[in-house]
Structure 1
Amino acid sequence: MTAAPATEAPERPAHRDPNVLRWLGAYSASMIGDSVYFMALAWAAARTGSASGTGLVLAAGSIPRALLMLGGGVLADRLGPRRVVIGSDAARALLVLGLAATLVLTAPTVGVLVVVAVLFGVVDALFLPAVGALPPRISTPGQLARIQGLRALAARGSSIIGAPMGGVAVAVGGPSLAFAAAGVLFALSLPLLLSLRIGPLPGPVKQGETPPDADGALTGTQETQQTQKTQETQETQETPNAWQDLGDGLRYIRRHPLLGPLMLVIALSELGFVGPLNLGMILLSEQRGWGAAGMGWIVAGFATGAAGSALVLAVRGRVPRAGTVMCLMALVGATGIAALAQVPSVALAAAIAAFVGLTAGLAGALCGALVQTSADPAYLGRVTSVSTFFTYAIAPLSYPVTGAAVALWGTGPVFAVSAAVCAAGGAMGLTITTLRRAELPR
C-alpha cells in the first residue's frame, strides 16, 4: 500500500501561540508601567508647586522622543528589535526605581523631574520602533493582523488599568510608591522578553501570497548571528554609518510602491485625528457645559469602540481587501469627527465617539499590519520608526494649532477642517492602485 501524503499542519493562531502570548504579556506590563509612570510624574510635578514647572516636566520627554525616534529605528535594524526592547525596558526600570528611591529621601524638584523625563523620552525613542518591529520575528506573516488586534487590545486595557493603579499608588504612598510600581512593571517584562523565540528574518511577502512556515525559531545567540549575517550581506565595500542607514531607510520608504503612500495616509490621518480627539474634546466639553464627567463618558465611548475593532481583528485574523477597507474606515470615521462638534448631548457624543473609535481603530490596525507585511524585514525598524514618528512626534504639534483655531473660529469649523484632513488620507489611499488593492497574507 502507498502511504498517504502528509498534510500540512494548520497555522497556529496568534492568540493560541505561547510565543506571541509571552510578547503580549511583556508588552502589556510595559504599557501599564507607562501609564503608572506618567500619572506619577504628573503628580510629582504638581507637588513642586509651580504651574510653569509642571508644564515643563510634562513636555520635557516629548523633545528627545521626537528628535531620536528615527535613530531608534536604525538601532533596531542594526542590533535586532528584541535586544533593543530588552535594553530599553531594563533602562526604564532602573531609571524609575532610582527616582522612587530618591523621592523617599528628598522632596521632588523641577530640575530632577525634568532630567528623568528627558532620559525617559530618550529610552522611549528607542523602545517604540523596536517593539513595533518585533511581531514579524515571533509569528508568521499571516498572523500579523491578529497580532495588531491583540496589541491594540493590550494598549486599551493598559490605559484602563494603569491610570487607576497609578492614582491609587499616589494616594497611598505618594509619587515614590507609584514610580516604584512602574519600575517593577517594567522589570516584569524582562523575563518574558528573554524567553521569546525569535525567528529568522523572512523575505518580503508579496501582496496576497501565502507566507512560508516560520519554523526554526532562534535563541538570543542565534538571533545575534542572524542579525550579523543580514548586516554582512548588506556590506559590500564598506560598513555604512548610522546616518547612511537612516538615509537608506527613508529612500526605501519613498521608492516603495505601498509604504510611501501608507506613510502619507498615516500622517494625514494622525494630523486630522489627534487634535480634535485629545484637546478639541476638552474644549468642546467646557463650551457645552458637560464638564469632566461628560468628557470621561466621551473618552470611554471612544475606548469601547477602539477595543471592539481590536477584538474583531484579533478573532478574525484577516480582513479581505485590507487596503480598501482601511481607506474606507478612515473616510467614514472622519464624518464622525465632524459630527462630534454638532451634537447637543453627552450621550450622543459618546455614541459617536464609539463609532469613531471603531472605524479609526480598525483603520489603524490594518495600516500597521500592512506596514509589517509589506516592508522588507531588514528595514522594518526604520519603517516602524517613521510611522511612529508621525503618531508620537508630529501629531502632538497640532495641539497649539487646534487650541488657537478653536479660540478664533469655535469648535465646529475646527472639527470640520480636521475631519477633512483625516478624510483626505483615506481618499488619497483609494486613488492609489497599489494601496487600494493591498491584501494581507493568507
Structure 2
Amino acid sequence: MTTEPTARSRPREALGDPHLRRLVVGQGLAAVVDALFLVWLTLFVLELSEPGFATGLVLVAVALPRAALLLPAGVLVDRLGPARITAAAAWLRVAVLLALGLLVTLTSPSVTTVALLAGLLGAADAAYFPAALALLPAVVPTGKLARVNALVQGAESGGDLIGPAVAAGAIAAVGFEATLGVIAAMAALAAGVLSTLIRVVRRGDGARDDADPDAFGSEQLSSARALGAGLRYAWHEPLVRGMLAAIALINIAVVGPVLVGGAVLADQRLGGAGSLGVVLSGFGAGSLAGSLMAGWRPPARRGWTVVGGVAAIGAGVAGLAAVSHVITATAVVSLVGLGSAFLGVVVVATLQERVPNQLLGRMMSLIVLVTVAFDPFSYVLAGALLPYGTTTLFLVSGSTVLACAALVATSPAIRSLR
C-alpha cells in the first residue's frame, strides 16, 4: 500500500479507496452470512430431530474445531499472509455450504453428516477470523482502522439483529434448500470480493519494525516455536496482556449470566420467556449503535475509553438485578451491547495499530480465542449462581466487571493510550 495514513479521516473519506470498499463489502457480507447460516443450521437440525442433544451436537461440532485450531491458524496467517488465508478460508466456507446444499436437496442427511460438515465449517472459521482481522492493517491506513473496524463489526451486529427474522422468514417462504442456496451465493460473492485483495496486499507491506523478528516472528521457527513466541509476546507486552485479560474476564462474567440468567429473568419478572427475544434484540441494537459510534468519532483518549467501556458493561449487568419490566430490561441490555461493541472496536483497532506486523495473525487469533473459548465457563458460573436468585447472579457478575474496570484503570500501558 502506498496510501499514507492520516491522523483522522472525515466520515465521507472513510471508504474513498476502492480497496477499502471491497474489504468492507467482503467482510461485512461474510458477517451477515454467518448470522443467517447459524439460524438456518439450528432450525434445520430441529427439523431433522427433536430439540435437545442433536442441536447441541451440531453446534458443538462447529465450536470445537474453531476453538482448537485458532492458535495454529494464527501462525499460518503470519506465515502465508492474511489476504491469502482470508480468501482460502472464505472459499472453503463456500465449498462446505454447497456440499451441504447438495445433501439437503438430493438426500435426507443424518444429524451426524450435518455435524461433520459443520465441523469443517468451524475449521474454516478458525482460519478466517484471525486472518480477516489481520488483513485490515494491510489494506487500511492507520487513521481509518477504527472506522473500518466499526463498519465491519456493525455489519456483524446488524446481521445478529435481523438474521433470525430474515432466515426464519425465508425458510418459511421458500424452504430450507432455496434459503441455503441464497446464503451460499452470498458467501461466494464475499469470497470473490475478498480474493481481489490478494493482489493488493504484498507480503511485508506495512511491516513495523518494533519487534525483534528473531525473537518473535521469524519464519525459520517451527510452527510450535512460532506459536510459543507469539504467546510469550502476548504475556510480556503489558498492553496486549491487559486487554486480553479484560476481554476474557468480561466474557466469563457476562455471556452466561445474560443468556442463562436473562431467560430466567424473563420468565420470572418480565412476563414470560417470549420477552427474552425482545431483550436480546436490545443487545443487538446496542451493539450496532456502539460499533458505529466507535467508528464515527474515534476517541482521543483510548485508555480511559477502554476503562469506561468496561465500566458501562459492568453497570449494565448489575442493573439487571433491579429491572422488573421488559422495556427497562431492554434498555439496560442495550447499554451492555453498546459498551461491548464500542470496546471491541477500540481494542481491536488499537492492537492492529501497535502489534508488529509479523505477529498480527497470532495476536488476532488470541483475541478471537478469548472472545469465544470462555463461554462454557461463563455458563457454569451462571448455573452455579442461579440457585441464589437472579438478583445475586447479576450483582456478582456486574460487580466482577466493575472490579475489572478498576484494575484496567491501574494499568499504565492502557491508561496512557491515546
Under a length normalisation based on structure 2, what TM-score does the superposition of the two structures give?
0.90
Q: How far apart are the structure 1 equivalents of 2:227 and 2:163? A: 34
Q: Percent identity?
A: 30
Match of 1:416 in 2: 395
Q: Which amino acid aligns with 1:426?
A: A
Match of 1:295 in 2: 276
Q: How far apart are the structure 2 equivalents of 1:139 and 1:105? A: 43
Q: How far apart are the structure 1 equivalents of 2:138 and 2:38? A: 30
- Structure 2 contact 270–325 (Cα < 8 Å) conserved: no
Q: Which amino acid aligns with 2:402?
A: A
Aligned-residue offset at 1:400: 3.5
Match of 2:89 in 1: 88
Q: Is 2:408 the counterpart of 1:429?
A: yes
Match of 2:153 in 1: 152
Aligned-residue offset at 1:343: 0.8
Aligned-residue offset at 1:337: 0.6
> What secondary structure does 1:320 align onto?
coil
Q: How far apart are the structure 2 equivalents of 1:9 and 1:267? A: 32
Q: How far apart are the structure 2 equivalents of 1:195 and 1:239? A: 29
Q: How far apart are the structure 1 equivalents of 2:188 and 2:361? A: 23
Q: How far apart are the structure 2 equivalents of 1:9 and 1:384? A: 23
Match of 2:323 in 1: 343
> What secondary structure does 2:220 align onto?
coil
Q: Is 2:396 the counterpart of 1:391?
A: no
Q: How far apart are the structure 1 equivalents of 2:27 and 2:98? A: 19
Match of 1:320 in 2: 300
Match of 1:104 in 2: 105
Q: Which amino acid aligns with 2:73?
A: G
Aligned-residue offset at 1:185: 1.4
CA 1:142 to 1:180, structure 2 compared with 1: closer, same or farther past 3 Å?
Answer: same
Q: Is 2:202 the counterpart of 1:201?
A: no
Match of 1:5 in 2: none
**How big is each residue's C-alpha offset from its partner over 1:348-376, in whole Å with a ceiling of 9 and x where there is no partner?**
11111222222232222211111111211
> What secondary structure does 1:419 align onto?
helix
Which of 305, 321, 334 lines up with 1:354 in the alignment? Answer: 334
Q: How far apart are the structure 2 equivalents of 1:188 and 1:269? A: 35
Aligned-residue offset at 1:94: 0.9
Aligned-residue offset at 1:234: 5.4
Instruction: Please identify the structure whose Cα radius of gyration is greater.
Output: 1
Match of 1:22 in 2: 22
CA 1:10 to 1:356, structure 2 compared with 1: closer, same or farther past 3 Å?
Answer: closer
Ranges of 4+ aligned residues in structure 1 off by more than 6 Å: 8-11
Aligned-residue offset at 1:135: 1.1
Q: Is 2:129 the counterpart of 1:128?
A: yes
- Residues 83-92 or 39-48, more deviating: 39-48
> What secondary structure does 1:258 align onto?
helix
Aligned-residue offset at 1:158: 1.9
Match of 1:3 in 2: none
Aligned-residue offset at 1:267: 1.1
CA 1:91 to 1:325, structure 2 compared with 1: closer, same or farther past 3 Å?
Answer: same
- Structure 2 contact 160–284 (Cα < 8 Å) conserved: no
Match of 1:277 in 2: 258
Q: Which amino acid aligns with 2:206?
A: L
Q: Which amino acid aligns with 1:303?
A: G
Q: How far apart are the structure 2 equivalents of 1:344 and 1:10? A: 46
Q: How far apart are the structure 1 equivalents of 2:210 and 2:314? A: 31
Q: How far apart are the structure 2 equivalents of 1:176 and 1:64? A: 26
Q: How far apart are the structure 2 equivalents of 1:55 and 1:312? A: 35
Gaps of at least 5 residues in structure 1 are: 1-7, 207-229
Aligned-residue offset at 1:96: 1.0
Under a length normalisation based on structure 1, what TM-score does the superposition of the two structures give?
0.86
Gaps of at least 5 residues in structure 2 are: none
Match of 2:346 in 1: 366
Q: How far apart are the structure 1 equivalents of 2:178 and 2:273? A: 27
Match of 1:308 in 2: 289
Q: How far apart are the structure 2 equivalents of 1:400 and 1:272? A: 10
**How big is each residue's C-alpha offset from its partner over 1:304-331, in whole Å with a ceiling of 9 and x where there is no partner?**
2222222222222x21110111112211
Aligned-residue offset at 1:137: 0.7
Match of 2:235 in 1: 254
**How big is each residue's C-alpha offset from its partner over 1:18-56, in whole Å with a ceiling of 9 and x where there is no partner?**
222211111122112112221221122112224322221
Q: How far apart are the structure 1 equivalents of 2:217 and 2:151? A: 33
- Structure 1 contact 326–364 (Cα < 8 Å) conserved: no
